Chain A
Amino acid sequence: MDIVILLVVLVGSLGLAVVFGRYIARMIIYEKRPLEKTLGRVENGFYKIIGVDKYEQMTWKQYTLALIVTNAIAAGFLLAVLIYQNNLPLSPKPGLSLDLAFNTAASFVTNTNLQHYAGDQQLSIFSQMVGLTFLMFVAPASGMAAAFAFIRGFIRKEFGLGNFYVDFTRIILTLLLPIAFFSALLLLFLGAPQTLDPTITVGTLQGGNQTITIGPVASLESIKDLGSNGGGFFGANSAHPFENPTGVSNVFECILMLVIPLSFPVAYGHLLGKGRGISILAAMLIGFGVMLALGFSEQSGPTGLETRFGSFGSALFQESSIATNTGSANASLTGMSPNAVIGLFLGMFVQAIPGADGAGMMMMIIFVILTLFLVGLMVGKTPEFMSMKISPRDVKLAAFVFLIHPALILVPSVLAYTTESAQSILGEQTTPATFTQVLYEYSSAAANNGSDYLGTSANTPFWNWSTMAVMLLGRYAPFVLMLAIAGSFTLRDRKEVVEPIKTSGFLFVGVLSIMVFVLTVLTFFPFLIMGPFSM
């Protein structure tokens, strides 16, 4: 039975990834899509209102600026909604404090969805729907747009990185929105509610009264999973029966989380060589396989788990969610076995097995560049990628991307202890279990993952401001560096020669996987020893 569940999730997500990967490839190089005429007409209407020329190409700096400015405006909107939700319609609730509102706005615009609030108690229907659901489209669309531009940098000389507004519009209107729409209907059918009422009051069997929080859950839930978002309508996230009612919805949500991240290597294969695409996909699946193996290796629960999912369904969901940097949870993290938690850390440290929508693919290419550089050193050859020489600047930028991550995790973790902010919410006595919770919080923020142990207990100024800074830097600093790399690659000459180090095939997959593992372990091992390994 467990094996059937696993097979359905893997075959389902890979099968859909083949379909959507082909579609994404067409989007990246502006090839004809199914229903092209209709889609084109709708998009042209949007471009007209937005005031962009769809043929205008952006430099990497223009592209990055457009992305950041659009994100900032969207986040500003959410910030205002959260602070002033008491004055807005649809069951108003008190506005959030400034630090919590800033944290939440940063959290949703960076595709993190770390939640220091409980949505069912603290947010109005308007905030959940017009505020959060909207941001849940903006964040993955921005990550995917960045990945489009990044991949275009490798296609051929001066192919052009594209136009951010065009990519953003096309990704939302012709990919995320249609899938989210049908997924929301399916989740609704499976039991997720969808109403504008904030609560229902029912009589109980014994004649008492029960007030149940409800709302537009299905429409949020589908894009929550599809868009690597992870921010639940309820504080309990996908453990809550309204977000994830049955074993069937659990499997469906796993597939929904995996499909776009796995589509990217397929698209990459269509555009840059089938072997290369399959090799990247294989490396991602090996990493994900290690996470799953850790998750299944030990029984989790039953405390902290939902009966309808059991140990297997919980571990499968948690590992899928963290592998894709979605960060939603169908069980309490404290209920997960130590091995399963180590698997979760692995996913957040690597961020590319398969990682978030778009961002995971870019991170994996950064690992490819680092691998080519290191292997090039070993065999004494100038590293090349896609028939282009990798320059010292590329390697420096790639190394920066890699190093930002541990810096954003480890420095704030230390700060949390030296400022007593960790002790103030976790107790004076620091144990491996409490250290794990601190390390997890910043790993999750830096990876734009969003799952956490601390939850509403971290709603203090220190945790809100510090994780906000980590989420913003963890998102935009790598994006700027990655797009800078793409910007220089797109201007570079290609020589049609045999690659000195082949970027496809078994050997490359093996070397890449080992490099990813070694780089990650060397960076984080001491901290894993102090935390999860000692639990």
Chain B
Amino acid sequence: MRTIKSKVFSPAIRIVVLMIITTGVAYPLLITAIGQTTLPYQSNGSQVVLNGKVVGSELIAQNFNSTKFFQPRNSTDSGSGVDPDITPNMAISQIPVISNATGIPVNALKTLVELDIAKNKETNALVFAPDYINVLNLNVELVKQYPEVYAQEVLVKGGT
């Protein structure tokens, strides 16, 4: 009886310990090391930088409380609660309000929306996703193109 027990338990315990080290420690740490050295942008959450400052992750929705910006979906409307994207229709329907608030011509806003759609299409090898707009990227583009319009919003708490 004792030999049967040791014959089963001893290899089982050893194989578990070996696999914890291999798959639970070595494998994720190796991926972390490779990621941090070769793909630091993705590894650290795809942080978007504007004028040398991090302004969010392009993969995670953030709130915009000014009507000068495009708005993401309400958090509970999506599957993740942090959907960073909206559909072209949702973006286009927001254009009049933004144009009113900022004085940026409707056509210029439309162009920026289309450029973002094209950029996302490229990310998705043209065919692997429906057309969509990344709200943060689009808003960052707005700030870049019209810094004077957004001077107040962007500098509210951030300092210079």
Interface residues of A (CB under 8 A from B): 1, 4-5, 8, 46, 49-52, 65-66, 69-70, 73-74, 77, 129-131, 133-134, 136-138, 165, 168-169, 172-173, 177, 180-181, 184-185, 188-197, 200, 202-208, 210, 212, 214, 216, 218-220, 223, 234, 236, 239-242, 245-248, 250-251, 302-310, 312-314, 329-332, 335
Contacts and interface: CB of A to CB of B under 8 A. Distances in A.
A130 B25 contact: yes
Interface in B49-63: 50, 53-57, 59-60, 62-63
Interface string B127-160: 1111010001001100100000000011111100
Contacts of A312: 130
B106 interface: no
Given A50-B15, A250-B128, A200 B45 contact: yes
B108 interface: no
Given A65-B8, A246-B128, A207 B158 contact: yes
B44 interface: yes
A204 B77 contact: no
3 closest pairs, A vs B, by CB? A247-B129, A239-B79, A134-B24
Contact of B11 (A165, A180, A212, A313): A165
B78 A185 contact: no
A185 to B, nearest CB: 7
Nearest to B88: A307
21 contacts: A50-B14, A51-B10, A51-B14, A66-B12, A129-B24, A131-B24, A165-B11, A173-B22, A189-B42, A191-B42, A193-B44, A195-B35, A195-B36, A195-B45, A202-B47, A234-B80, A241-B60, A247-B124, A247-B130, A303-B77, A308-B130
Contacts of A196: 32
A90 to B, nearest CB: 11
Contacts of A331: 79
Nearest to A200: B45
Contacts of A223: 23
Contacts of A184: 31
B35 A130 contact: no
B27 A200 contact: no
B85 A188 contact: no
Contacts of A137: 19, 23
A205 B27 contact: no
Interface residues of B, number: 76
Given A5-B128, A137-B19, A194-B42, 13 more contacts: A134-B20, A134-B24, A181-B31, A200-B57, A202-B55, A202-B57, A205-B62, A206-B156, A206-B157, A208-B157, A239-B78, A241-B83, A250-B128
Contact of A308 (B10, B27, B63, B132): B132
B28 A205 contact: no
B123 interface: yes
Nearest to B61: A241
A293 to B, nearest CB: 20
Contact of B14 (A49, A194, A308): A49
B8 A66 contact: yes
Given A50-B14, A236-B79, A203 B127 contact: no
Contacts of B86: 307
B93 interface: no
